[in-house]
Amino acid sequence: MVGEYRDPSDDVDAFRPDLTRTPDLTRTPSSVAGELDYASTVTAPTEWVPYVYTDTELRAHAERHGLSVAAHVFGLLGLLVAIFGVWGAALSLAAIVLAVMARATEHRAGSLWVYGLVSGLAGLVIAAGWVLVITLVLMAGVS
């Protein structure tokens, strides 16, 4: 019984909403004003309408290089700081993350993100070398 109040003391659960309706073959398709034919509601629409970008949106996407530039700057700073100590590891790691993000989002940035990735990896390797050297020095001092 659709739309009726359910009695909470009733043991039988006869309250089932009727969400679907099978086609009634005795009715004509136009018996209810505004009702769609059952056959037209069985499948989803199959049309695909592509989004058309405006000129402003195309220019904004083409000129977007922020992540690539940030990756390159962080990579160079990380490399420079890693030469003098282990503190460049954080900057180099940030450069690697930014470069990977730029690769996925900035398709027209060229190879700028690659420079950030390479300099970030180099800075990370140098910082790891510093960690290794400091660990070996501390181990030799303990012995």
Max CA distance (Å), the chain: 97
Question: d(Cα 38, Cα 32) in Å, to the nearest integer?
Answer: 12
pTM, 2 dp: 0.56
Question: Considering the chain, what is the average pLDDT of its residues?
Answer: 78
Q: What is the mean pLDDT of residues 99-123?
A: 89
pLDDT of 33 > 70? The answer is no
- pLDDT recorded at residue 2: 53
Q: What is the mean pLDDT of residues 75-86?
A: 93
Collapsing DSSP to helix, strand or coil, 30 comes out as coil
CA 109 to chain centre: 19
Question: d(Cα 111, Cα 68) in Å, to the nearest integer?
Answer: 9
pLDDT band at residue 42, thresholds of 50, 70 and 90?
A: low
Contact 82, 123 (CB under 8 A): yes
Determine the residue type at 82: A
- pLDDT recorded at residue 128: 94
Count other C-beta atoms under 10 Å from residue 106's C-beta.
Answer: 20
Q: What is the mean pLDDT of residues 61-84?
A: 89
- pLDDT recorded at residue 56: 84
Contact 99, 117 (CB under 8 A): yes
List helix spans (H) across 63-111. Answer: 66-84, 88-105
